[in-house]
Amino acid sequence: MRLQEAGHAVELREAAPHLGGMISPVRLGSVEVDSGAEAYAVRGGVVRPLCDELGLEVAGPQGTPHIWWRHGTFPMAEGVLGIPGSLDDPALGVLSDEELAAVAAEADLDRAVGSDATTVGDLVRVRLGEAAVDKLVTPVTQGVYSMPPDRMPLSAFAPTLLEALASEGSLLAAVAAVRGPGTAAVEQPIGGMFQVINALAERFQAAGGSVRTAASVASLKRGGPGFQVSLHDGEVIEAERVVLAAPAAVTSVLLSHLGLDVPAPPVRTARSAMLAVSTPELADNPVGSGVLLAERDDTLHARALTHYSAKWPWAAGREHVLRLSYPEHVLPTRADALRDASRFVGVEIQERDVTGFASIGWESMPTRIDASNRDFIVETALEAGVDLVGAWLDGNGIAAVVSGTGRVLR
């Protein structure tokens, strides 16, 4: 859309049968909901203006997420990455009296303690103690990012926290300042994240843009005014510029056609199962907006549950929508989803209650690459006249990808 607004005639070819990639819907029962990414990070302020421009009303999530332990379920800290912003946070109920005392004593530490920390785990451990890392932060980082806090650079996941610590004098106060009172960390367009894709496609096509789906590229060669793009169905496009917004492996192959050696970084698989159910007891939202698994339990295969229709009330109706996240080696069945959902919410969901089910796998989830490697890859392709965008370069998250697209507007 931005290239089109800059005066370019743009041809969009999508290999999948639909636009959006990991921002795409699935129909469950009577409602269409997000099958992949369901929200964007508010931090950075890059996606909200896009939604405003497209005329999409946005809203933050409702309900409190919870952490599931075998001995009970506790609210997640209302802070940053599981770090609380106040001693009044109900999440601290999971700590013993001794562990809570260590957190309370943090306010007496010199503000320089932890100022040299490089990871989330380092900072929380030195300021709040090991129990805070294990019981408050790790369930969140593992459940949301599949990463332990000791492998999460502060510069990437909480870039303003050390500055706030220096200013506020304590980590809890720094979290409160960064988060802001009553401020949601994420939000989505009402109707689902996929509404952004629908609105972008509608505006692009209304302005004369050409879109074809189920149209995969077979080869990329220099020719004509710049490049010759050949599709598997026989179409050939002559283009002055090419922007590749494809998975890393596909991008690597196409760049090799131009003589460029850009190895694809490793990927992982994300698996989930989604249910639409009519179980009446779920109207009480027993686990708020969802629950993360805090400790291993061999009777559970899922590691997290989102009560999607409680978290995003626009999706609430006759049915309740539940999303369960699974390790990549598990192919969740309907029976798996029913059993795990029942355990998480503490309500027996009957087979007769199910009105919709989907088992979803994203096979090419990118892993994070460092900034210097990303810059090298981008500059290497740019020297050949090709722009690269995508989550494998800029990191998972809609805000990161939207920010990364700005570099093609030259």
Mean pLDDT along residues 260-284: 93
pLDDT greater than 70 at residue 341: yes
pLDDT of residue 267: 86
pLDDT of residue 175: 95
pLDDT greater than 80 at residue 97: yes
- 174-197: pLDDT as tens digits: 999 988 766 677 899 999 999 999
pLDDT of residue 182: 64
Percent of the chain past pLDDT 70, that is, above it, reads: 99
User: Domain locations in the chain?
Assistant: 79-181
SS (H, E, C) the chain: CHHHHCCCCCEEECCCCCCCCCCCEEEECCEEEECCCCCEECCCCCHHHHHHHCCCCEECCCCCEEEEECCEEEECCCCECCECCCCCCHHHHHCCHHHHHHHHHHHHCCCCCCCCCCEHHHHHHHHHCHHHHHHHHHHHHHHHHCCCHHHCEHHHHCCCHHHHHHHHCCHHHHHHHHHCCCCCCEEEECCCCHHHHHHHHHHHHHCCCEEECCCCEEEEEEECCEEEEEECCCCEEEECCEEECCCHHHHHHHHHCCCCCCCCCCEEEEEEEEEEECCHHHHHCCCCCEEEECCCCCCCCCCEEEEHHHHCHHHCCCCEEEEEEECCCCCCCHHHHHHHHHHHHCCCCCHHHEEEEEEEEEEEEECCCCHHHHHHHHHHHHHCCEEECCHHHHCCCHHHHHHHHHHHCC
Instruction: Give me the architecture of the 79-181 domain, per CATH.
Output: Orthogonal Bundle (1.10)
- 355-380: pLDDT as tens digits: 999 999 988 888 778 888 999 999 99
- Written as six digits, the tokens of 332 are 């969740």
Mean pLDDT along residues 266-273: 90
pLDDT greater than 70 at residue 106: yes
- 65-78: pLDDT as tens digits: 999 988 888 999 98
Mean pLDDT along residues 29-51: 91
Mean pLDDT along residues 237-265: 94
Mean pLDDT along residues 331-355: 95
* Whole-prediction pTM: 0.85
CA dihedral for 336, 338, 339, 345, sign (positive or negative): positive
